[in-house]
A and B are shown apart, each in its own frame.
Chain A
Amino acid sequence: MAGFSTLNTAYTGLATQARRIDVIGENIANASTPGYRRRRVDLGAIEGPNGVGIYSGADRTGRGVEIRSIDRVLDPVLERHARAEAGRAADLKVGAEALSELESRWTSFGETGIAQGIRDLAAAFDELVNQPDDLAIRNITLQRAEGLATEITAAAGEGADVRSSLVQRTSTLVDRVNSISTSIAGLHTPIVAARAAGADGSSLEDRRDQLIDELTSITNASVLYGETGGVRIAVDGYSLVADDQTSAIGMTATPDPSLPTGMDRVAVTAAGGRELTFNGGDLAGTLRAANTLIPDQVRRLDQLATDLANSMNAIHAAGTGLDGGSGRNLFTIGSGAATFAVSTDVVGRPERLAVAGAAAGPLDTTTAEQLADLVDAPDGPAARWTALVADLAGITAANRTRADAAGDAASAAEQNRISVSGVSLDEEMTELISAQRSYEAAARVISAVDGMLDTLINRTGLVGR
């Protein structure tokens, strides 16, 4: 029977709808907040008292409405998919960017750089054939040789630069992982407490999920959510975060003979010193670029510079200078292209440049011809450099294509995630109307009960008066 209990039922309606409007307001306010998962109020009817017996006197009507929970709307499968794709995209992106960077520093189609340095040197030797005794042209040839040496050492420097920025990046990422792990662990207690108390911990969980997003894009770690609100994050079997406990990772650099001179192999290690393997994420890409992609190219440059110096020296030493001396080197090289330089045998001494062949007239030009031809030979420095540039271009383009594809896949996965978890204003407006109308209707119920009680209290016994 309708009475005071109905008033209470209507009141639960009022309170619940007011709360719904509250949540809708939050959703609307956060419609464009990145990482925000829309909230949904889960309503449930309050069961009436159980009336089993005939005389229990209870009716079967419910006692109103209650809020069971306020949930964040998300699809765990899509979440995991988006994270995996983001990790893969980050991995490939670093490699592609490092190669692009190296390429833009080393090569261009323009008339600069090592290619032009080699061409200029060959042209100078050709010119020496025309005028073997002209000191001005000898000087120009020496300057061209120094120009080429500058280009080669500059390229070696650029290579080392790109490499060291990758090492720097590794250390920054390791620090970032450790600080994110700490933040995630710090959120554990408040989230679990909120859950246990049935309070709304949604914004804390949003915050934690955003941190986890960042962590997985760096490490591609596996994430496991617990029933009570805890989370375990592990990479390569090493637990970064377990509820409120964290384990730090570190970075090591060890000398490796297979890498070019001056480069140490960088690795990310667990607390005990075990080396971690990443199967995706920014760190995986950074390590791959720092230990493989860039060193491979630098090694080729080193090899090219060494071969260039040795082959030119072999010819030059056999030739004779204007002063009759021979056995002099044109270039010197220690270990790696960074040490490539014009030999002190000839530097500043243009008359010592060997243009004439052995046992030939002083103005013979055999050696200069051989040097010019060497540069141009099918396996000479010009062709080798061209091959290096073409290969670098090919590798860069392939990496970029893969990174672009992974980036597209990642943004598609992110779109899917947003399409489930994002806020749609149209939906919220509809919900808002429904909540508002429910509220009004509940208020009408109260006034109806009020009217009934008025009739009962004030008008009883007045019939017919």
Chain B
Amino acid sequence: MTGRITELGSVSRFVGWAGSARSRIADAERQIATGKRHEQPSAVPTDAGTILQSRNQLARLQQFLRNQANANDLLATSDNALQNSTAALTQVRTLALQAVNGATSMEGRDTIAAEIRAVAREVLALANTSFDGRPIYAGTSDSTRAYDDTGAYLGDGGQVRRRISDQLTFDVGSPGPRVFGTENGADPYNGTVFQVLEQLAFDIENDNIAGGRAGIEAIDVASSRMLTELGRVGGLTNRIEAAGEQARTEEARLNARLSLTEDTDLAEAVVRLRSSEASYEATLAASARALNRSLLDFLR
């Protein structure tokens, strides 16, 4: 160690000590001011990867949560349209039963047929329900409507997918044929719901009782098709919400991990600031005393 204590030596030593004490204060101040433990990845090379990875995961998760909200909205719209459609079919069924029980007059049947046609238009409008400007029953087609005015399907069978998590992608679309039946030129009662309704209205107009009964059965089939789809939509909603719940838990966990690795422990930082200030002052006081002392003070 140092044998002789020299002026230059003690000055540079004290300057070094005071400087390192000062930089400890600056570091504690920075931690408190920014709320971050470290400024640069190289200050914590072992945590740097974890922090960035967590940020990446967090960003993706937040997007997944947005996707999930979007999927839920879409499913809610679809659910609403399907509820209304089944309610409309129930209404048609009641009317049709009225018409086929034989006690209805010619005019009454005409009125009923007209009503059925009105309901058919309502169902057609519901089948063209759109979400974000896009018909929800048209698959991946870029058509602006799922069905044209005649009830012909314009869409395709493509999947409308939503990414809910790394592993989970849901097809939230309902292709028109699955919900409203497939067109059948030869046998309208086995065709789309629009064909069924039109044929039913025609049969009722023409007092075709047998045809009307077959139509009521066809409506039951169409209804149950819709209810099945409604059940599927409900089930999907539940699964997506469950996945969303998981994503939110994961988000909270990632946030906690990030906070743990990169956020300042305020209590610790304040204590460190206090103690480094104290040591800085002590260093200054000590050097002020030591540098003042020399033989000169004791000589006359």
Contact = CB atoms under 8 A, between A and B. Distances in A.
Which of A100, A123, A134, A414 is the most central at the interface, judged by chain B CB atoms within 10 Å of its CB? A123
Which of B48, B141, B156, B160 is the most central at the interface, judged by chain A CB atoms within 10 Å of its CB? B48
Contact of A393 (B3, B42, B160, B296): B42
A103 B64 CA distance: 31
B134 interface: yes
Interface in B31-48: 36, 38-45, 48
A34 B8 contact: yes
B141 A363 contact: yes
A122 B41 CA distance: 23
Given A109-B51, A386-B49, A397-B43, A363 B134 contact: yes
Contacts, number: 189
Interface stretch (B52-60, B145-153, B266-274): B52-60
A42 interface: no
A193 interface: no
Interface residues of A, number: 68
B56 A397 contact: no
Contact of A362 (B8, B41, B141, B162): B141
Interface residues of B, number: 57
Given A386-B53, A393-B45, A419 B158 contact: no
A361 B141 contact: yes
B2 A416 contact: yes
A36 B63 CA distance: 67
B295 A418 contact: no
Which of B4, B44, B162 is the most central at the interface, judged by chain A CB atoms within 10 Å of its CB? B4
B162 A130 contact: yes
B8 A131 contact: no
Contacts of B158: 360-361, 363-364
Given A133-B134, A425-B294, A433-B299, A362 B142 contact: yes
B7 A127 contact: no
Contacts of B80: none
A381 to B, nearest CB: 10
B42 A109 contact: no
A contact face: mostly helix, strand, loop, or mixed: helix
Interface in A238-286: none
B132 A126 contact: no
Contacts of A123: 59-60, 62-63
B207 interface: no
Contacts of B141: 361-363
B8 A31 contact: yes
Contact of A122 (B39, B63, B262): B63
Given A122-B60, A131-B132, A418-B12, A424 B48 contact: no
B2 A415 contact: yes
Contact of B6 (A383, A422, A433): A422
A127 B63 contact: yes
Which of A36, A360, A386, A429 is the most central at the interface, judged by chain B CB atoms within 10 Å of its CB? A386
A227 interface: no
B21 to A, nearest CB: 16
B161 A369 contact: yes
Nearest to B299: A429
Nearest to A104: B40
B52 A360 contact: no
A426 B295 contact: yes
A390 B48 contact: yes
B16 interface: yes
A127 B62 CA distance: 11
A386 B67 CA distance: 25
Contact of B41 (A109, A119, A400): A109
Contact of B8 (A32, A129, A376): A32
B30 interface: no
A115 B52 contact: yes
B140 interface: yes
B42 A397 contact: yes
A429 B59 contact: no
A420 B4 contact: yes
Interface in A23-60: 31-34, 36
The 3 closest A-B pairs by CB, nearest first: A361-B140, A422-B6, A393-B41
17 contacts: A33-B8, A100-B42, A109-B48, A111-B55, A119-B56, A126-B64, A130-B67, A133-B142, A360-B140, A361-B140, A362-B141, A369-B169, A387-B49, A389-B41, A392-B42, A425-B7, A429-B295
Given A364-B140, A415-B13, 18 more contacts: A31-B6, A33-B8, A109-B36, A109-B39, A120-B59, A122-B60, A127-B66, A130-B132, A131-B134, A360-B140, A362-B142, A372-B163, A387-B49, A392-B41, A400-B42, A419-B6, A429-B294, A429-B296
Interface of B: 2-9, 11-13, 16, 36, 38-45, 48-49, 51-53, 55-56, 59-60, 62-64, 66-67, 70, 132-134, 139-142, 156, 158-163, 166, 169, 262, 294-296, 299
